[in-house]
Structure 1
Amino acid sequence: MSGTGEALDPDFPYAVLRDLGTGVFTVDVLGRITFVNPWTERLLGRSSAQLVGRNAHDLLHRRPDGSPVPRGQCTMMSPLDGGLCVEQGSEEHFLRADGTTVPIIWATTPLLLAGRRAGLVVVFNDFSLHRDAEERAAAHTAALEALTTRLNLVADVSSVLMSTVAAPGRITRLLRLLVPALGDWAAIDLRSERERTAGVLERVAVRSHAHPRAARRLEGPLPPLPPGSRPPVARATGGDEPARLSADEVLGNPDAPLATTHRPLFDRLGGHSAVVVPLRARRRHYGMLTVARAGAAPSLTDDEILLLTDIGRRLALVLDNARLYHEQRNVAETMQRQLL
C-alpha cells in the first residue's frame, strides 16, 4: 500500500526492475533462465528470446579468456544445490552475444514462491567501470607515493650537500642516499686539482648495494685515457646532457664511448644500464656522476634522470664553492704572510 492508502499499480514491480540500472534474471531449479529485465539484455547484447529457456551457467558463465567454467566450480549457481545463503562476488565473467566477456559484480539469492524453492534471482552489473576506477585510483596512489619518496630524497640530498661536512664526506653521504634509492651502484669521478695530476680523473667514491668491498677497491686515480676515449669523456664531464650507457655495449665494444672508464665498474659490480651525469658549474667541469641499475630493475626513467641531473648540478655547485673558498683562503694567507 502507498502512504495515501492507494493500491500500487500492478506494473510497479516490473517498472522497478526495468529502470533499476542493473541486470536481473531468474532461473528455475534446473538453472534455466525464466525471466530477464531490459538491463540484462543490454549488458549481454542478447534479447529475452535468446535467453529465456537456456541454461544460465552453460550459456553465460566464462573465464576471462572465454573458456567455459566447470559447473562444479560455479559459486554463482551453488544455492541451487541446496544452500539458502546469499552468494556474491566480483571475479566472474559473462559471455556476450558478440563473443566478448564482461567482468561482473554479482549476487544471487534463492527464489521462493509460496514457501517453495523455485530457483534463483541473479543480480549483476558490468564491473569493468568499477575496476578501471580502482586501477586509476591505485595508479594515482602509486604516483603520489613515488612523488613523496622523490621529494624526501631531494630533501635528504639538499641536507647533505648543504651541511658543513668537508666535500669528500658529503660525496660519501650522497652516494649512500642514491644507492639503493635510485640505483644498485653509483660512482663519482672528479678531475684532480693537484698540480702533478691536474685534469686526471680520479674515482673518489664508489658505492654498491650488493658488492661493497669490490666497490671500495675501484676507488682511486683512473689510468691515462687513450686518445680515442678523451672526446666522449670530455663530453660526459663537461657537457650539459646526461648520457645513457648499456652494459652490453661497454663490455662488448672496447671502442664504445666511456668504455675505458666504465668497463671496470660493470665488470666488477654488474648491472645492465647506467646514466652518466656531468658535474658542471659556472663553466667549470668537475667530473661525472654515474648511477646504474642491475638485475630485474628497469632502466632509469626520464623523470629519474632529470632528478639525477639536478643532483649533479647541486653537487657541482658544492665543489665549485669549495674551490672558491680554498682560493680565497690561499689569497688571504698569502697576503697575511706578506704583511708579516
Structure 2
Amino acid sequence: MRRPAPRAGAVRTSEVVSVAHSDPVGRVDEAAASMLEALFTQSPIGLHLFDTNLRVLRVNTATPFMRNASLDDLRGRRVRDVYPLVEEDAEALLREVLDTGIPVRQHMVRAHGEGDEPQERTFEINALRLEDPHGKVLGVGVSAVDVTERERAHAHTKLLDAVRGNVGRTLDPAVTGEELSATLVPEFADIAIVEVVDSVIRGDDAPLAPLPTGTLVVRTAFRSAHPRPPEAHPVGDVRCLAGPTPFTQALADLRPRLERLGTATPWLAADPALAEAIRSSGAHSLLVVPLTLRDAALGIVSLYRTEDSPAFDENDRVLAVEVATHTALCIDNARRYTHEHTIAATVQRRLLPRRPEAHAWLETAYLSLTGADPGAWYDTTALASARTAIVVGKVAGRGLNAAATMGQLRTAVRSMSAFELTPDELLARLHDTANRLAAERAHLPYGDPLRHEELRADCAYAVHDPLTGVCSMAAAGHLTPLIVRPDGTVSAAAAAGPRLGSSDGTPFAAVEIDAPAGSVLVFTSDPLLTSYLAENPGPLAAPSDYADRPLQDLCDALVYAIPAGMGVHDAAVIVARAQDFPSNRFAAWPIDAAPAAVAEARRRTRRQLAEWNVDDETAYDTQLIVSELVTNAIRYGSPPLELRLIHDRSLTCEMRDAGSAAPHLRHAGTVDEGGRGLFITAQLAQAWGTRFTPPAKTIWAEQTLSGANEPDSLP
C-alpha cells in the first residue's frame, strides 16, 4: 500500500523507525531517544511540544525562560497561560501552522523575563507541524533561541548610525539638540530634553567641570512621544539648574546617572515644576547623560521612559554615552563656528563704513541681508567735482580669512580712488593687488590651510557725475549693477570682466550709462539676487514712488520682495538715487589760448563768487588758484580750454584742456622765475589732482567752505 507523501514542514516518526530497523546493531532508536531526552533537559535552545489544542505536552526546562518552571505545573496549560509574551498573539501564529502545515522560521517574539523587575527578552522561534506516519496531525513543535543581546546590539548599532547621520547636519547648537531629540524619540526614549550651557550657545569656551555656581543653561530641545506632553520649562528657557539633582551631579563629575522615579524620590523637591511634569507624564525611569568634551561641560541630555516602556538598564547607559559623545562633538563644532563667525563679523563691522559717504547729489543707503557674509563689502567715496564712487564686492571663502582679505581689497580701492582712475583702470590695478596677495598666500607655511585656498573676488566699481548725469562702471566677475531710470525701465549696467585674482588676462571694460535725476542704482554682492531683481523688478519698477521718501524704504521693499526659498543667503547691497545738481551752483567758460585770458578768467571768477556770497578771503585764494591753473593750461596744454567752478559743500576749480601731459608739483629754486604754480595751488587748496577723461584732461583744486559759505539749497 502506497503511503501519502508528507506535507512540507511536517515531521514523521517513521523516519526514526526506518533508521532504527536498518541498523544491524539495533542501537539507533536508543541513541535517538537519548538525544531527544538530552535536548529536552540540557540544551539551551528552548524546545516546546504542543498538542492540537495548543496545550503544553513537554518543554525544555533548561532554557533560561523556563529554568525555574516545573513540567508538571506546565503540562496541559495553554500557550497564553504559560508564556508572558508582549503584544504577540502566539496562539494565532501556531494555529496557522497547524491548519496550513507551513512552518514558521526565524520569527521574532518578545516576552518578559524572570525576576522582581522582569526585563523584556527577544526570542527567535521556529514552529513545525508534527504528523504521524499516516499523516495525522499530532501537534506543533517549537524551538526558541534567546537573541536578546544580538537584537539589542543590532538596535544600538542602528540607533548610533541614525544619530551619526541625522545629528550635526548644521552648525547651530539649538538645531543639533532638536536633531538629537527627534532621533531618540520614540526609538530609544519616550521623552528627550537637551540643555546647553549658555556660553556655549554664544560661541564661548565651555566651562570646565564642575560648573561654577550660577552657570546658565538653555533648553534647546524637548520632544515627547505623548500627544500633549507636560513640560516643566519651555524650549528657549534660560535658567540655573536646581540642585542637588542628578542633572547638577552629572555636570559636576561628568558621569551619567540612571534613576528610578517614584513618589519617594527626594531630589525632586529641588524642582517642583519638574516633579509635577514627571508625575503627569508617568515617567518611571530617567537617564541623565552629560555632554562633555575634554573635561568641559557643554550641556546635558535627559531621557525618560514612561508608562509601559521598560526601564533603562546598563546597556542603555552605555549607548547613551556614545550618543552624547557624538552630540558633544557636533555642538562643539557649532560653537567653534559661532565663535569664528562672531570674530569675522566683528572684523567686518570694523572694516566697513558705518554710514554712507557721498555727495548730496547721489543719495545712498547700505543694506545687509541676513548679516552679510564676512567676505562681502560695500563702500562709497566722495570724489572731487561733486562725483561719488560706489563699490561692492565679495571675497570667496568664509570666516576670518575672508574678512581680512576683504579689508585689504577695500582699503586698496579707497586708496586708488583718490588717484582719479577710471573704473576699468582701477579694477586692473586692483586685479594686480589681488594677484600679489595670492602670491603671499603661496609662501605661507605648508600646514596653513590658507596656503591651499585660492584668492578669488568679485567687484563692481562705478563713478557717478551729477553734472553730466553719467555713471561710468566696470565689473570684475559677475557683479552687474542695475539701473532703474525714471520711466521704470530696468537694465544691467556693466559687462562682466575676469575675477580678481584669476589668471585670466582679459582686459576690463568700462561702460558709460545715462543716470539722470530720479534714476536708482542697485549694487549687490550676490549675482543671484541681481538676476532676480532684473527679472522681477518689483518695487524697482516705479522708483518715482520713492522720490520724496527715505531711501531706506526702498531697501526694505527689496528685502520684502525676495522669495524665502530663492537661495539668497548673505549679500551686501547699496541702493543709490541720483538727484539734480542745481544749475546756479555750476559755471563754465571757454578760455582763449592767449595770456590775456588769465585776467578775464579772474574777473569772471570774482563775479561768480560774489553771486555765491563767498567771503573775500576765500574768493582771493580762488582767484590765485584760477590764475595758476589757466596760465598752466595756456602754456603747456592744448586747445580747447575750459574753466569750471562748482559750488558744492566745497568749492572746486577745474581747468580742462586736450593735452595728454600730466603736470607735477615742483619745488622751484630761489632764483627760478617759474615752477611755482602748482605749489601755490597745493598750498591754497585742500586737495588737488589730475583726471583724464579722453579726449581731455582735467586739473582740479578743491577748497573747504565755511558754514556761512555753503549753499542753502543743498539737501
TM tier, smaller: 0.5 to 0.7
Contact preservation (8 Å) 1:184, 1:208: yes
Q: Which residue of 2 aligns with 1:312?
A: 324
Match of 2:179 in 1: 173
Give the number of the structure whose alpha-carbon radius of gyration is greater: 2
Task: Tell me by how many angstroms 1:247 deviates.
Answer: 1.5
**Conservation of the 8 A alpha-carbon contact between 2:282 and 2:306:** yes
What do you get for the CA RMSD once the two structures are aligned? Answer: 4.4
Matched, 1:164 2:194: no
CA contact (8 A) 1:215 1:269 kept: no
Are residue 328 (structure 1) and residue 340 (structure 2) matched?
Answer: yes
Give matches, 1:118-137, under 5 Å.
134-136=143-145
Contact 1:187 1:291 in 2 (8 A): yes
Residue 49 (structure 1) aligns with: none
Partner SS, residue 181 of structure 1: coil
Aligned counterpart, 1:295: 307
- Give the distance between the partners of 2:337 and 2:166, measured in 1 at CA: 18
1:205 to 221, 231, 237: 221
- Residue 299 of structure 2 aligns with an amino acid whose one-letter code is G
Is 1:272 the counterpart of 2:284? The answer is: yes
Partner of 1:245: 259
If each structure's helix is expressed as a fraction of its own residues, which one has the higher value? 1
Is 1:185–2:197 an aligned residue pair? Answer: no
2:26 corresponds in structure 1 to 18
Cα contact 1:242–1:275 (8 A) shared by 2? yes
CA shift at 1:213, angstroms? 4.8
Aligned-residue identity in percent: 20
Per-residue CA shift, 1:7-41, capped at 9, x if unaligned?
A: xxxxx959558322458xxxxxxxxxxxxxx958x
Which amino acid is the alignment partner of residue 322 of structure 1?
A
Query: What secondary structure, in the 3-state scheme, does the structure 1 residue paired with 2:288 have?
Result: strand
Which amino acid in the other structure matches residue 179 of structure 1? V
Residue type of the alignment partner of 1:135: A
| Alignment deviations for residues 114-166 of structure 1 (CA, whole Å, 9 cap, x no partner) | xxxxxxxxxxxxx9xx96xx423xx34x5444433322221221122231363
User: Are residues 259 and 213 of structure 1, via their aligned partners in 2, closer, same or farther at CA, if it must alter by over 3 Å?
Assistant: closer
Instruction: Please tell me the residue identity of whatever aligns with 2:164.
Output: S
In structure 2, how many angstroms separate the alpha carbons of the residues matched to 1:311 and 1:156? 10
Instruction: Give the Cα–Cα distance (whole angstroms) in 1 for the partners of residues 150 and 317 of structure 2.
Output: 18
CA contact (8 A) 1:237 1:288 kept: yes
Matches within 5 A, 1:77-226: 108-109=132-133, 134-136=143-145, 139-140=146-147, 143-164=149-170, 166-193=172-199, 199-215=215-231, 218-221=234-237, 224-225=240-241
1:206/1:216 contact within 8 Å kept: no
Higher relative contact order (CA 8 A, sep 6+): 1
Show the counterpart of 2:639: none
SS in 2 for 1:214: coil
Post-superposition offset of 1:171? 1.7
SS at match of 1:313: helix
The whole-number CA distance in structure 1 between the counterparts of 2:255 and 2:273 is 18
Report if the CA contact (8 A) 1:279-1:289 is conserved.
yes
**Corresponding letter in the other structure for 1:304:** D
Q: Which residue of 1 aligns with 2:653?
A: none
> How far apart, in 1, do the equivalents of 2:344 and 2:248 lie?
33
> Secondary structure of 1:252's partner?
coil
Secondary structure of the 1:272 match is strand
User: Aligned in 2, Cα 1:183/1:337: closer, same or farther, shift over 3 Å?
Assistant: closer
Range with bigger deviation, 160-169 or 294-303 = 160-169
Unpaired runs of 5+ residues, structure 2, are 1-19, 39-55, 59-70, 77-100, 102-128, 135-139, 205-213, 353-715
Change (3 A) 1:145 1:15: closer
Distance 1:39 1:237, change over 3 A: closer
273, 286, 293: which one aligns with 1:281:
293
Q: Tell me the equivalent position of 2:250.
A: 236
Q: Secondary structure at the match of 2:320?
A: helix
Residue type of the alignment partner of 1:18: G
Whole-angstrom CA distance in 2 between matches of 1:176 and 1:169: 11
CA distance in 2, matches of 1:43, 1:326: 69
TM-score by length of 2: 0.29
Contact 2:190 2:304 in 1 (8 A): yes
Q: Unmatched 5+ residue regions in structure 1?
A: 1-11, 24-37, 45-61, 70-87, 89-104, 111-126
Displacement of 1:308 after TM fit? 0.9
- Deviations 1:231-270 (Å, cap 9, x if unpaired)? 754332243321012211xx53444597568424413322
